[in-house]
Chain A
Amino acid sequence: MALEAVAQDEAVKKLTRNQVAWRAANEIPDGSFVNLGIGLPTTCANFMPEDREIVLHSENGILGVGPAPAEGEEDPELINASKDPITLVPGGSFFVHSDAFVMIRGGHIDLALLGAFEISADGDLANWTTENPNFPPGVGGAMDLAAGAKQVWVLTDHVTRKGAPKIVNKCSYPLTAQKVVTKIFTDLAVIDVAPDGLVVREMVEGMTLEALQELTEPKLTLAPDCKVLTAPAL
């Protein structure tokens, strides 16, 4: 089934962006220290599981990031990597930028959630430049996180706006880091990047492995216990 067909097929229950963030947040183990990257990952702070204590790190010098503030409660000097207003949870702290990256590069961060332009079957990540001369590149903390975090998970739409696969055999855009991504959360599936290839652990309702494979370049394998990917309305 081609993308157009998938997009129009009402039987395929694609996740919204908030639902992708919710699903990824609910995968994070209790007690983890987790960095949230610019874009979709920063919204995970709004959907953290209440039964776990997870400490969120922000590259601009914050441990203990909380959800977005109520309207009218925003503080322009309390922001996340996306420059959106946040709150600080009890126990949270502020520190200089170089210490924020000591935590990242020194291997103290358990997990980084990042966005992507492309991810390869080997776990290569490309997310800083499309080499468009009119569109400046922006690396931010992505290369530090990809090199320093113990694990890297990616949150992304399954395909580009034009319908091309973002999960590819080999990245066409310049790499952020090689062989770092271990898990991919998309609007259609949850995929493990395993040593012997990509394993589909969850798919949205109405999706088949054949249809998902058409939207994904590398070969997909279905996990024996593959589940339906669902999320509450958010």
Chain B
Amino acid sequence: MAINKVVQTRAEAVQGIGDGSTVLISGFGAAGVPTDLIHALLDQGARDLTVVSNNAGTGDRGLAALLREGRVRRIVCSYPRSAGSIAFDELYAAGKIELELVPQGTLSERMRAAGAGIGAFYTPTGVGTKLAEGKEVREIDGREYVLEYPLKGDVALVEAESADRWGNLTYNKSARNFGPVMAMAADLTIVEARNIVELGQMNPETIVTPSIFVDRVFHVPAETASAA
């Protein structure tokens, strides 16, 4: 039977995401944020979520809307504050959201480890700082390293430039950012793609995320995509 990961509706795209899920959301600033999938998740109704994303949303759309609606219990990110991160800032000041602050390279490597089946890894990042408090430190070849564990998603929401029905993906410029690593780190990877192309149309040398990491593809043409 032909593999076809392309779903036709927003509801179908986010079907089955349960309360309490850990959701990885791609993007750095506004680049690469799957805004339409986030709004589909908002409509779908899952609550008590742990969101893993580099930033904590800005303005009133996308992640900021999910925060504002009280769907997120905990956020794991490297840099929550930015111009317009009002929804997060208010919840944080009111003590209404848990924040796990993770150095950006550790954040991406923890997800890479989850995707690669790595049980844990040692990194020099954060040695001697508050973010390493309580973590195992080991000296290897004369240098100190902190033990970090994988960060796995129940779900990943990823924005891509183009996808085919198998789920092969390409990205656009710096909107690639966390997409490929999140796609490999979740049990269910859902992609918002600007273009759907025929199987075989992508140059195999330039496919960035191979199809094996993708479960669902939802077409959001550029002209209808929501601004992040």
Contact = CB atoms under 8 A, between A and B. Distances in A.
Interface string A5-45: 00000000000000000000000000000000010000000
Contacts, number: 144
A83 B83 CA distance: 10
Contact of A174 (B129, B174, B179, B208): B129
Interface in A108-130: 129
A96 B93 CA distance: 33
Contacts of A105: 105, 109, 123-125
Given A79-B29, A136-B81, A175-B129, A141 B177 contact: no
B208 A76 contact: no
Nearest to A143: B103
B55 to A, nearest CB: 9
A78 B177 CA distance: 11
Contact of B28 (A60, A129, A135, A177): A60
Interface in A91-111: 94-98, 100-101, 104-105
A110 B61 CA distance: 39
Contacts of A133: 93
B30 A76 contact: yes
A108 B101 CA distance: 25
A75 interface: yes
B70 interface: no
A60 B177 contact: yes
B181 interface: yes
A140 B176 contact: no
B112 A77 contact: no
Contacts of A104: 105
Nearest to A103: B105
Interface size grouping (class) on chain A: 35 or more
Main secondary structure of the interface of A (DSSP, over half): loop
Contacts of B104: 59, 97, 101, 139-141, 144
A38 B31 CA distance: 16
A101 B82 CA distance: 21
A176 interface: yes
B89 interface: yes
B168 interface: no
B131 interface: yes
Interface of A: 38, 58-62, 75-79, 83, 88, 94-98, 100-101, 104-105, 129, 133-144, 147-148, 174-178
Given A60-B28, A97-B108, A143-B106, 20 more contacts: A61-B176, A77-B174, A79-B29, A83-B30, A96-B179, A97-B28, A98-B109, A105-B109, A134-B93, A136-B88, A137-B101, A138-B78, A138-B81, A138-B101, A141-B78, A142-B103, A143-B105, A143-B125, A148-B125, A174-B129
13 contacts: A59-B105, A60-B31, A77-B32, A77-B174, A83-B82, A96-B108, A96-B208, A97-B104, A97-B178, A139-B78, A139-B101, A141-B105, A177-B127
Shortest 3 CB-CB contacts between residues of A and residues of B: A101-B105, A144-B105, A83-B29
